[in-house]
Each structure stands twice: as structure tokens, then as C-alpha cells.
Structure 1
């Protein structure tokens, strides 16, 4: 009787363990292969969006609950999709941006009426970089003057008929010539006066008056 009760107890324990094993196996198969995914992938973190607040400050919105910017107003939470974004223009924020005044030291490139900064005073040079020259009046140059007659008139002789003759000197040669005479095959005596003689150079038809030389 005792051995029969022990066998029944073992059979009951084995049956219980087998039932638990079957239940666990069935749950694993159902969870991994038969059932739809219970959870979906976590959405990506929301981008940081900055919004201009009415008091001129900015606050960051990370998409999380709580934890606003310290010392400023709480950022307004906006959507991350095109359907959730609000296209309404916020005139208060635009007026704040327009009321800002340029305080730099240079020219305001956003203003058409802004004048450029004054130029620095550049010292003037002591001397001009180039000497200032007066314009030269250019005189038209004509043909060169004829050469002087190479004769010296140093005396007068009067013939018996009253005709004067001139004593002419060329180098070491002395000539006595009256009106119409040719000296050294080049010079023709035109007239002879008491204090001067007119002689013509026949090579260029140039007449010159030779004064009487006393020394």
C-alpha cells in the first residue's frame, strides 16, 4: 500500500512539471513567432527648436516634459511635422526684432540711408611727389642763319676818278677791291663807303655789311 501511494505522488509531480514546461514552451513560441510586435521602435529625439519670446529672450524646446530654461520664460512646444507646425506670424516677435538698433562702429549694411564712417585725416605731403615744371613755349625753328662772311674791312682807298676801294683781310691775305670786284672767288663787293662795305656771299646770295675796323 505504501509503495503504491509513492508511485502516484511521483506521477503527479512529473505531470505537473510537464504541464508547466508545455505552457512555457507555448508562451515562447507565441511571443516570438505568432503574435504581432507588442512594441514599436522608439521615435527619434525631437529636434531642438528655438522660439523668440516676447521679452526678447530665447528658450530651447527639447520635446521633453518639464525642465524649461532657467531664468526665462518656458519655450512653447511646437510640432515636428508639417501638419503640426503653426504657420501663423507672430507680430509681437517681429516687432521686437525690428526695434533693434544697430550699435556698431562701422556702416550699417542693412540700412540704405546709413552713411559710411568718416575717413581718417591723412597728413598732406610736405613736398609734391614730382617737381612742378612750367610749360616751355616752343618756338618754331626755321632754317639756320647763313655763316658770316670771313672778311675784315680795315681801310678805304680813293682813286683819281673818286671811286672808293676797300682793303679786305682774309687770314694773311690782303685784297683791294672796288664795287663789282670778286674776292677769293666767293665774295663780291657791292658798295664801299667811308665807314662800311657791303659784301655778298655768292654761294647763298647773302649780303652782309662789314664795319670799318680801325685796330
Structure 2
């Protein structure tokens, strides 16, 4: 039976493909207050603004490609059972070839019904007011906004509890509940923390290995080591 690798990825992985990170140091996201474009209240107040905001984010996806970190993670699947749990809403892991990806915060290339969250539709073009689902309700971005439940969290916790190895890449581990996942990993399992500015103490977890590198530099190194172990 192949060992389990769980990979938790954040904005730092996508940023190296040219996608802008979630928000700037001043709290703005592409010039907008997060409360305007990433909350149910913001959507209710100005749905056109919110739809246009995500239309622009969606368009950006077609101008970028998976980077070396995305590609390296795919190689692990030849030797391990790999699940990627990502905070990112892009499809770069899938485009690189990863086959088991859990999106905690939703996906830009999907939309869903405003009245039934289980009605989810693939969507690659602009989303406008008047675009409705089969039940007649307005479609909205398939994004988990602040104040909303994270529907894939329980599944992510279950997967993390099975990890023989845990990799954390390109995330500050400051956004909850995603940041809590590391606490569900088995205490004996090695944890690789890959970030150019790691904000974690070496003594924070047993078997913690800190790699102070960008994703495109650090991930291939760790992947090579894990593949050597798996063969």
C-alpha cells in the first residue's frame, strides 16, 4: 500500500505563475476592500461589482501556466497516494496534471446557484446578472466568501489525518480554518514547510523541516527527496 502525502498550498504557489496574491499588505484586493467583493453582504449590496471582479480574476487564468512547483507535485503520484488541499481558487494544479485536488475556498472556473449550493456548473466566460440556473435563480461565483461555511473542510481534515507526509507550500498559515489543518496531521508524520519567509518556529511541530525557499525552488527539492524514499 502506497504511503499518503497531503499537500497544503496557498497563494504563494499561484503567485509564481503570475497570479496576484489574495490581498495586498494594505488589505485591498485588486483595489477593492475585501468586504466589498468577498462577502455575502458585498454581493447583496452590489452584485454587478462582485460579478465583474470575479470575471476579471477568471480571465487572468487563461494568461498563466502551471509553474515548476505545480509540475513537481504531479511527479509524486507515481510513488505515493497524493491529495492536494489548496486555498487557491485557480485550476493550475489540475492543469499541471494533479488528479486529486480539494479546493477549500472554491473555484473560479465554476459557478453555483444562489439558492442551492449543490447546483454547481463549469463556467469559463463572464458571469452576468440574468444568468440563471435550471431552477431559475441567479448564478454566483463558486467561491467561499468570508462569513460562509467551508464545505470541504471536514473532508480536508479526514485526509490530513491520514498523512504519512505533510507538505505546506506558499501559505502564511494565517487564514483560518485552513491554517488549522496542520494540527490534524499525525504527530509522527514529517512536515515540510516551504516558504521564502517562513513564519513558523522550528520547534512548533515534531518532525518539522523548514525550507526557506520559493515554491519553484523548494518544492522540486522536497519532491526529489520523497521520490527517493518511495522507491
Whether TM-score is above 0.5 comes out as no
In terms of Rg, which structure is larger? 1
Greater helix proportion: 2
Higher RCO, Cα 8 Å, sep 6+: 2
Q: TM-score range by the shorter chain?
A: under 0.3
Structure 1-normalised TM-score? 0.18
